Amino acid sequence: MSSKILIIEDEEKIARFVELELGYEGYTTKKAFDGRTGLELAETGEFDLILLDVMLPQLSGMEVLRRIRRTSSVPIIMLTARDSVMDKVSGLDSGASDYITKPFAIEELLARIRTALRKSIPEELVLSASGLQLDTGRRTVTMMGIPIDLTKREFDLLHYLLKNKGLVISRETLLENVWGFDFSGETNAVDVYVRFLRGKIDEVFDTKLIHTVRGVGYVIKDEK
Ligand code: CA
């Protein structure tokens, strides 16, 4: 899925140029030419990143930044015409992720967008429950810091259950999402792999991570 970027910039030539370039890179974009409209769009929460001009009609870029930050931690890159220290300081205080001074080279803007988007992901890269941590980027699993060695299938099953922590997932859903096309017809595959996981986690660390909900499926819950 492509990232959605909101461009809040009253200089329409710049806004159109940036929109065109971001389109080439595969991003989906929306434009706003004043602060008020920009804020309204930002508050829908549908954007992965916001490019925000400092000097805007109706509501200044700084004010838009402050109001977005009341409710959202979406990455925001400020576009400023002046490379003034004051702008930078007050913007960073208000929670801007980064700055770029106009006129900028599009390659530099693209690089900063990539960086800001990468930084905003890590929280979701590591999933956890009851002392267990699963790092989706490194594909590692630890319990209270101690590494657990899992096969690919065990990892994928644990990943799916953790991603849906607190929800009871049926065997059918697990087969569909974890086994997918590889699934060769053994309906008890899920139970077998849950047993493997319990053997490597619950039995070793004396925990109860994966719960069976009779007749329904499995669920991972945080231990209270
Ligand atoms: Ca402006």
pLDDT at 81: 76
Burial class of 185 by CB neighbour count within 10 A (0 to 12, 13 to 18, 19+): exposed
Indicate whether 187 pLDDT > 80. Answer: no
Indicate whether 30 pLDDT > 90. Answer: yes
Distance between Cα 77 and ligand 1 center (Å)? 14
Same domain, 138 and 111: no
* Displacement of CA 156 from its chain's centroid (Å): 19
Distance between Cα 190 and ligand 1 center (Å)? 57
What is the number of domains present in the chain? 2
Distance between Cα 10 and ligand 1 center (Å)? 5
End-to-end, the C-alpha distance of the chain in Å comes to 36
Question: What residue numbers bound the domain in which 108 lies?
Answer: 4-119
Instruction: List CB contacts of 130: < 8 A, sequence separation 6 or more.
Output: 207, 209, 221, 222, 223
Q: What is the mean pLDDT of residues 196-209?
A: 93
Residue of 2, 21, 22, 18 whose CA lies nearest to 10:
18
Distance between Cα 57 and ligand 1 center (Å)? 8
Same domain, 53 and 148: no
pLDDT at 194: 96
pTM for this prediction: 0.55
Calculate the average pLDDT of the chain: 88
What HEC string does 64-103 produce? HHHHHHHHCCCCEEEEECCCCHHHHHHHHHCCCCEEEECC
CATH of the domain at 54: 3.40.50.2300
pLDDT at 99: 84
Q: Are 196 and 149 in contact (CB under 8 A)?
A: no
Indicate whether 120 pLDDT > 70. Answer: no
- CA–CA separation, 111 vs 21, rounded Å? 12
CATH of the domain at 198: 1.10.10.10
Distance between Cα 56 and ligand 1 center (Å)? 5
Same domain, 114 and 131: no
Q: What is the mean pLDDT of residues 191-195?
A: 95
Indicate whether 122 pLDDT > 90. Answer: no
Q: What is the mean pLDDT of residues 22-31?
A: 96
Q: In this predicted model, what pLDDT tens digit does every residue of 45-73 receive, in sequence order? A: 899 999 999 989 999 998 999 999 888 88
Q: What is the mean pLDDT of residues 96-109?
A: 88
What whole-number percentage of the chain has pLDDT above 70? 88
pLDDT at 21: 96
What is the β-pairing status of strands 146-148 and 76-80? unpaired
pLDDT at 200: 96
What whole-number percentage of the chain has pLDDT above 90? 57
Taking a 5 Å cut-off on Cβ, the residues next to ion ligand 1 are 10, 53, 55
Q: In this predicted model, what pLDDT tens digit does every residue of 125-171 receive, in sequence order? A: 788 898 899 998 788 999 988 999 999 999 999 999 998 899 899 99
In this structure, what are the phi and psi dihedrals at residue 94, rounded to the nearest 5 degrees? Answer: -85, 0
Distance between Cα 108 and ligand 1 center (Å)? 19
pLDDT at 109: 95
Same domain, 30 and 73: yes
Same domain, 91 and 162: no
**What one-letter code names the amino acid at 93?**
D
Indicate whether 212 pLDDT > 80. Answer: yes
Same domain, 97 and 133: no
